Chain A
Amino acid sequence: QKEVEQNSGPLSVPEGAIASLNCTYSDRGSQSFFWYRQYSGKSPELIMFIYSNGDKEDGRFTAQLNKASQYVSLLIRDSQPSDSATYLCAVTPGAGSYQLTFGKGTKLSVIP
């Protein structure tokens, strides 16, 4: 059973701080890694993807991947109240797969 684990939170950070969200996965052959943001009652929205070890930056967001440790993280710099949402980590298994296994999500609250 492929598993994706996240701390459920809630994670509370003050406005302007760095929010750090973490995710571990059990399938060592996993290829692609995604971070989705989901506001309450809304559909998931892709904010970052990464498939190579290291860091990938996009604006205030940085995704970090360490395949040896089976660990992926999302850093949100200069956190804003509008970043308050649930963040879902998702993983695809081996090459050529269209499957997505989701973690249960981490709820982030940015305090003004």
Chain B
Amino acid sequence: EAQVTQNPRYLITVTGKKLTVTCSQNMNHEYMSWYRQDPGLGLRQIYYSMNVEVTDKGDVPEGYKVSRKEKRNFPLILESPSPNQTSLYFCASSLPTGAPPYEQYFGPGTRLTVT
């Protein structure tokens, strides 16, 4: 089954404790992206990756890191989480080639609470 998976689905942590949210896709997609979703602010892009070893900042990259060492995986790293990073996080991936529409497939989401 074609899918994007994220782990963990729920996480409660404390300020300053490093954490990683994993994202994996089995569709051989080149493009992967991380979003956060907050009430009243909508979905905002954190980082994206066009391919292995190619990453770039989205609209809200501060406090986050990513890596893309393999095509299927795109982990999101919070080196020192803070309460303002409490949010619902989505990973997404896109079709590898060709013309629009570049449909993005979303993972199930990770709800992160930082206390």
Which residues does A use to contact B, with CB under 8 Å? Answer: 31-32, 34, 41-46, 49, 51, 88, 92, 95, 97-105
Contacts and interface: CB of A to CB of B under 8 A. Distances in A.
Contacts of B81: none
A105 B44 CA distance: 12
Interface in B50-108: 50, 58, 88, 90, 94, 100-104, 106-108
Nearest to A33: B101
Given A51-B100, A98-B50, A98-B94, 10 more contacts: A34-B101, A43-B107, A43-B108, A49-B100, A88-B43, A98-B48, A98-B102, A99-B58, A102-B42, A104-B40
Given A31-B100, A49-B103, A103 B94 contact: no
Given A32-B100, A92-B100, A104 B31 contact: no
The secondary structure that dominates the B interface is strand
A43 B103 contact: no
Interface of B: 31, 33, 35, 40-45, 48, 50, 58, 88, 90, 94, 100-104, 106-109
Contact of B101 (A49, A88, A102, A104): A49
- The 7 tightest CB contacts between A and B, nearest first, are A104-B42, A43-B106, A32-B100, A49-B101, A102-B43, A98-B31, A32-B101
Contacts of A31: 100
The interface centre, meaning the residue of A41, A44, A88 with most chain B CB atoms within 10 A of its CB, is A44
Nearest to B107: A43
A100 B104 contact: yes
Given A88-B42, A102-B42, A43 B109 contact: yes
B43 A51 contact: no
The interface centre, meaning the residue of B43, B45, B108 with most chain A CB atoms within 10 A of its CB, is B43
Contacts of A41: 88, 109
14 contacts: A31-B100, A32-B100, A43-B106, A43-B107, A44-B43, A46-B104, A49-B101, A51-B101, A98-B31, A98-B33, A98-B50, A99-B45, A100-B33, A104-B40
